[in-house]
Structure 1
């Protein structure tokens, strides 16, 4: 290697570690430029191999190397590293200088670097990687042994993460090759560090072997979980799994010794123990059949350490969580459950699988009835009790304490973990635990605990928590109405500071039991009970938040009665707004906003009638401004605004500028926050349009944001089209002369790549374009806007192979154009014929094929409204003096007869009445299909919006509702007769089959 190049790179790396920005920035830029230069990574490898260089320089070198592997190692990557240089780099990374790196942090990054290359190249292009590493493990140099284990750990981790069938097969082959050696190495290192701890050896000696044992355990875990199809078929894997819990027991005793001495390896020892439990959890999750022999020892292990005084004296929180998760995993595993007993099914089905029977037997041997009750009681009276740390957190940060941990927090946090285990245990052994828990609850019914007796309060809180968690399983055992009326509602009134614990739990109980067993007559009392702490100025914040969450649960109930809750809406919204203002943490505000959204969504019209939204609208602008960098809070605020606008049925002038500004900011793709806000902002945009009586310049200007959203992807196609429809109904001319026209052009370009649902959505939008623009005002503006779509539709119809749903909308679109102007239709056919070589660019041939497809497939339209519209289009063509139309006269007449039969109102036996034509003064039979917006009616429905009125007016103007098909057909046939003469008309009639003539003469005299 050229010494000058090495010196230049080294100097640049030195300058890139400078704290002076003027020196740092140019050096970083130069390093980025060199990333694609041949030989650059060989220089970096030489820097790494020189241990005498500054640590910061070598750290930067390994990071540059690692980033380069991410970007340029794959063969198909732009500016990929050459195969020759890759070969040299792979050899260099296996050199003794790299595998004896003295700095731990750099060694870790080197291991990650090698693993990234291994993921791409191993085993095809780097078959000797693992054998080389295994061979170096026998070296007598301790640091080299450690570094090789570190590299092997990261390599195995990377290879185990590959999920293609071939990659999984390769990893299984690798596992079978190295597993015995790794197991033996781990066993030796584990024996050494355990014996050193017990003998009181020096700390560095314990640490050295403990670190190697931990790395070996990590490797074994990946190999065991992902390296076998069936772990129980490998003797070495079985041997390893059989010693896991014994090693954990010994390690816990050694941890106690380390803790007594207060030396560094304590943390490492705890990690080692945790990884032993992770092995058990991994096998249980991925190889449940292989875990069956371990069910009994693992349950006994968890019972001893989590539910006995002797065992609990040796453990720590993270270990407790892991043990309880093992118990939960065993109880939850579907492979371990016997089929539910059903005499009839038992006779017809095969016996339970052997695995399920063995697992059930193993569980039964350990989890006897007395043991299960002991576990349940211990969970309630020990783990459910609020600790001194919990109460201290409550005092210091009530909002943080009150925020429920969601998702998979049971994997990492003790309280959610114990609650999850309790629920699994209770569900599995309900018949045993329900009576005992009811007796435990009955022991509290002597009266409220004394406010100064904190231990009694904590015990009651724990039992109440258990009853709430087991609510569904206690349906037949607890009379919640009586309990709430006589006990819980009274405890809410006790205002002592210690009693806030019970008040919070009572609120949670109301939320948990409202959907399980709470009579309809009790609901008002429950609402009042929850509003009591919410509206109290001196109530504890955690209690208020619990009440708010419980309120959301009560209104989410299936049997929720809108009228019952309506009187409480103003108080609820006012209290929630106060809580929103009082809250300091963003997560708390998000929770409160979700409750507000639930109330407004469920109540809708009642919110408008009762009022209470003004305070919310007044506070939201300030909240929006303060949440500039908290996108999830802004998203929650957007959702609340959507429901508020819908519920009120209007966007008042004082808040309109703010809301339009919010929508504009959230739908601009140039704003990074749009990733989090776009979906809710589009909903809000649609809600504003639906509640607007007229368009104003800011709203019209907002439409410019639609085109970039459509251009980016079709992810939000449906709601964007709904917004376009709302604009079309509100201000068609202004919209289609501006942003609307551009968007329709873009939609036409996208049609070729859309799925069926998207095609139908766009075609319905095109239909509305024609429906809302009239020739006397804008010279067929709607047709001009959709002209490219119209040409594409004709081309698609000529193929005639679209799905019926698409075909019917295509024919409806053509029919609307025909009803608007037959000249426009023929112009479209003529333009569509240009360039069609299979039709010799002849419009007559194109029209002939189009009419053939039309008459053959129009009966595929399933909606009667659409079928009639298509029929009206055919009727309008009869008098256009086109020979191709007359040649199809029999087929046209046959289809018209079928449509007439279908649209006839059968209630009128003696007179033909078109069932789709609305009677004077009545609403149209159906609203316009395809427009977004709510159409629900009822006590809690949203107010009638201007958009809904516009939809109904457009539906009433629909040709199928406005034109009588029988009268239109009669008129067109009479006109045709006068155009062609009686003799020609008679020949056309005679060309029609007799059955068709017989049926049509029932409607029209021919």
Structure 2
């Protein structure tokens, strides 16, 4: 690209790309995209964004295109990589001027420079840092601030690199510049202190520069050294950190009315506390010197009245997390064996324990509960304005950013560390709020709510100290009967409290009382927040180990109706999902008992499915509910096919974008539907057309897909194989090529089911796969589960379709340049060697039956392997033969043979249709219908008839002890 002639054209195109008219915008974007790989394009862009006379929007767009180009074409190995000359021109341009007046463009330039620095600094761009150092010393405040901004982004980028050489480079860089940046920080803070005396307009820029310096310090002190305490400048910083933190807190207090500067002071306060948090996390040993001052600082500023005016939420959150981090750090906790604990850990532990004496613990605990656990006026306004949003639980890492979660996590950490000291404090508070309070006394209600919150959070730790049964029966239930608008706060907290204690210490006999309480609070006359909380408590109670369906049944009708009303009433997608999960859980735990109440729910789910077109997570919740409903319906699920089948169809259709979200739950629903269907159904069968696409997508849902195929084979074997046998064989064979061994075994189990159902036709359908199976047996020298599975399938063919076996071996013999008998002999040898690795009794017996079936084959190969076959068969006979209790020892039975009188573990009515079909198939399988002893004797008789006198010679080859054991079986 000619730089002299193309500059105006590029400028015009960038201008058009900023236009709101699509007819002008689109061609400009296409043209810029074409120029991305043209030499000289980025040099022209640098000229444009450096020209302050050009429109801000055009310059901003030029920086963005340049930044994107660096990401794509800067590396030497990238396709269409930038030339070294153009790179040098761009780097030179970027550090020639630090006076960008527009903050947004300055930020983009800083990010652009940091991206280049990540790849080139310091080896291929050694002029960057000196240029930045010179600029931050400049008397022009704008140049100073822009240079610091760039230095911050460069430092942030280099600190993020984790390879050892990169870390070493960053440590070297830190050693060179930390003292300088630290000096800048002190200079700007002191300047701010002077300027604040006269409320100069330059206060803001001074604090901005101090904030940028502090951001650089944060990355360097955490990632730029292995031990900050060994660096003189860093030690000086750590010694000054609380002095400066208190200083900036004072600045903030003096800035009331100047909102902009106050915010800048808050940024500095948070930055310093984040440095402390990072040091505690990354350099806990270096932090030991700061344990005592940190704890004193946190208590002074957060648990005393003297400094209350200095608090703001994010500062308090960081302070709480500092205390929590010190308490929970394993570095500051001795080993179980004191002699194994090093001196450093013991010193840290002693500092911590010396600080937390009873008086301090008592004050912290009381203030956490009475001050930080209280619902605020903002909380109550949120409750009234958006009750569903109020109910959304804060979890995960929310304690790092939000005040209430951080105070609760600190309380729990303290309680676990100092349970003996804090239990009496909490019990005192409980005693103080025991009696019902005046509903008009909002302070009393909020205090009671906070104390109940503490008792719920520490339920496990208060197990021995609180008689929850007595408290619940004598007092909490009375408070649930107080009907007043303000008492909704207590109602919500009591039912929440029950959820925390029900699995800890609530008597089984009190469960009905709890269910009755939940029913009363789920009533439509109650506050919506209370109703949602009650639903969540119900889920916890039903999920408990001691839950009894029989005990719950009298309340099922009311519970289900009230939950259903709540589900229809709530509006938010997240809340509907929450309530749906409670209903799903209820259906799962009560099973078939739900049938009388399910029709109205199903009707509503159909409406909800239509309304949830843009809410895939809500659709997932609906699918989960349907899974449990189908299980509850059992064989009567056919009555809801009209809704179920289209839902399964759209959820598992890989041509629909939403399948990414719905496929997993959709497959679960599909599986349960097929398993519970009592008879074949054409519409259900046609759903299988979605399966090849799902199988092509890989192994994420392979296990469920294969279970569905197996369920189809058992439900409608003839129809299924008639329509889909070729597709099935092709899909399964394709999957076998690039999949781990455990996945291959799952696939082969499906093939095994097909062979059980179609012993004559099945092998021909899977011919290609059987070629691969035999090939694998011959080539795989390892004893593994896969080899055992392959031999099992081969054994089933030997037993049930020897005609196909010989045809298969004849087809494969030329490939191995061997005679058929030689090839079969090799297979038999491998089979003998691997017999000990076929551990499942059914598969061992199948192998024995298959080998025994060869005894009637008049072949020299069988004669050669005769002794091995008999020996293996006798060995398996020992495994499967049992003597009935109290019966004649001579009456020996095959333990795997299923008689007509055998009963399953469940009654016919309770058994899932799928299990009935599996049981029926087992009753047709030779493994479960043919006694091995009888079959072996029969085959030996046939062999004797065929061989005549030669049979005795064959028997002489067998070990005499084996012959003796065989004789014992044949008495």
User: Judging changes above 3 Å, is the alpha-carbon distance between structure 1 residues 740 and 36 closer, same or farther for their aligned structure 2 residues?
Assistant: farther
Q: What aligned pairs does 1:624-639 form with structure 2 within 5 A after superposition?
A: 624-639=609-624
The corresponding residue for 2:551 is: 564
1:132-147 alignment, distance < 5 Å:
132-147=131-146
Map of 1:895-934 to 2, 5 A cutoff?
895-907=872-884, 909-923=889-903
Whole-angstrom distance in 1 between the partners of 2:382 and 2:909: 42
Equivalent in the alignment of 2:463: 475
Q: Which residue does the alignment assign to 1:930?
A: none
Q: Does 1:17 align with 2:6?
A: no
TM-aligned CA distance change 1:237 to 1:846, over 3 Å: farther
Aligned with 1:726 (options 708, 711, 726) = 711
Residue in 2 that maps onto 1:662: 647
Aligned equivalent of 1:996, options 957, 962, 968: 962
1:748: how far off? 2.1
In structure 2, the CA distance between the partners of 1:691 and 1:560, relative to structure 1 (3 Å rule), is same
Moved over 6 A (4+): none
- Mapped pair 1:338 → 2:334: yes
Instruction: Choose 759-768 or 123-132, whichever is displaced more.
Output: 123-132
Q: CA deviation at 1:740?
A: 5.5
Residue 458, structure 1, aligned to residue 441, structure 2: no
Does 161-170 or 5-14 show the bigger shift?
161-170
Cα 1:41–1:702, aligned 2, differ >3 Å: closer, same or farther?
A: farther
Mapped contact 2:759–2:797 kept (Cα < 8 A): no
RMSD, aligned CA? 2.1
Shift in CA distance, 668/90, structure 1 to aligned 2, threshold 3 Å: farther
Following superposition of structure 1 onto structure 2, how do residues 664-683 of structure 1 map, counting pairs within 5 Å?
664-683=649-668
Conserved in 2, the CA contact under 8 Å of 1:569 and 1:612? no
Q: Superposed, which structure 2 residues align to 1:79-94 within 5 Å?
A: 79-94=80-95
Q: What is the rounded CA distance, in whole Å, between the counterparts of 1:738 and 1:576 in structure 2? A: 44
Over 3 Å counting, the alpha-carbon distance change for 1:673 and 1:70 in structure 2 is farther
* C-alpha deviation, 1:379, in angstroms: 0.9
* Corresponding residue number in structure 1 for 2:281: 285
Aligned-pair CA distance for 1:943: 4.6
- Could you tell me how far 1:127 is from its partner in structure 2? 4.4
Tell me which residue corresponds to 1:932. none
1:774 CA drift (Å): 5.3
- In the TM superposition, what is the alpha-carbon distance from 1:338 to its structure 2 partner? 2.8
Count of residues paired in the alignment: 967
Distance (Å, rounded) in 1 between the aligned partners of 2:84 and 2:680: 64
Cα offset, 1:297, TM superposition: 0.7
The structure-2 alpha-carbon separation of the partners of 1:47 and 1:697, relative to structure 1 and needing over 3 Å to count, comes to: farther
Q: Report if aligned partners of 1:874, 1:892 keep a CA contact under 8 Å in 2.
A: yes
**Contact preservation (8 Å) 1:851, 1:885:** no
Shift of 1:737: 4.2
Q: TM (normalized to structure 2)? A: 0.96
Does structure 2 retain, via aligned residues, the 8 Å contact 1:41–1:65?
Answer: yes
Give yes or no for contact 2:253–2:309 (8 Å, CA) kept in 1.
no
In structure 2, do the counterparts of structure 1 residues 67 and 744 end up closer, same or farther at CA, with 3 Å as the change threshold? farther
| 2:478 equivalent in structure 1 | 490
Aligned counterparts of 1:886 and 1:575: Cα–Cα separation in 2: 76
Tell me how far apart the structure 2 counterparts of residues 236 and 135 of structure 1 sit (CA, whole Å).
21
Residues 322-372 of structure 1 deviation map (CA, whole Å, 9 limit, x = unaligned): 1111111111112112345xxxxx4xx624232332222222332221111
1:792 counterpart = 2:790: no
Counterparts of 1:35 and 1:740, CA distance in 2 = 52
1:707 Cα deviation (Å)? 1.7
5+ unaligned residues in a row in structure 1: which ranges? 341-345, 925-935
1:441 is matched with 430
Aligned mate of 1:691, from 654, 676, 692: 676
| 1:721 positional shift | 0.9
User: What does residue 175 of structure 2 align with?
Assistant: 176
Q: 2:214 aligns with which of 212, 217, 223?
A: 217
Q: In structure 2, what is the equivalent of residue 963 of structure 1? A: 930
SS at match of 2:272: helix
CA distances 1:360-415 after superposition (whole Å, capped 9, x unpaired) = 22223322211111111011111111111111111111111122212111111111
1:430-456 CA deviation, whole Å, 9 max, x = no partner? 1111012112111223x3112222221
Q: What pairs with 1:121-136 in structure 2 (closer than 5 Å)?
A: 121-136=120-135
Which stretch shifts more, 793-802 or 130-139? Answer: 130-139
SS at 1:309 equivalent:
coil
C-alpha deviations, 1:188-241, integer Å up to 9, x for none? 1222123322x12422x1121111111111111111112222222222222222
Q: How do residues 599-998 of structure 1 correspond to structure 2 at under 5 angstroms?
A: 599-608=586-595, 611-650=596-635, 652-653=637-638, 655-739=640-724, 741-773=726-758, 775=760, 780=761, 782-836=762-816, 840-907=817-884, 909-923=889-903, 943-979=910-946, 981-998=947-964
Query: Alpha-carbon deviation of 1:834?
Result: 4.0
Decide which moves more: 994-1003 or 547-556.
994-1003
Q: 1:448 touches 1:491 (CA, 8 Å); kept in 2?
A: yes
Conserved in 2, the CA contact under 8 Å of 1:733 and 1:773? no
Counterpart contact for 2:894–2:931, Cα < 8 Å? yes
Moved more, 639-648 or 279-288: 639-648
Does residue 577 (structure 1) correspond to residue 564 (structure 2)? The answer is: yes
Contact 2:635 2:678 in 1 (8 A): no
The TM-score with structure 1 as length reference comes to 0.93
Separation in structure 1 between the aligned mates of residue 220 and residue 810 of structure 2, nearest angstrom: 70
> 1:61 aligns to what?
62
1:691–1:945 CA contact under 8 A, matched in 2: yes
- Describe the shift of the 1:131–1:961 C-alpha distance in structure 2 as closer, same or farther (beyond 3 A): farther
Deviation by residue 1:488-518 (Cα, 9 ceiling, x = unmatched):
1111111111110000001001100001111
Which structure is higher in RCO with an 8 Å CA cutoff and minimum separation 6? 1
CA deviation digits over 1:243-290, x for unaligned, max 9?
Answer: 22221111111111112x324222111111111100001111111111
| 2:291 aligned with 1:304 | no
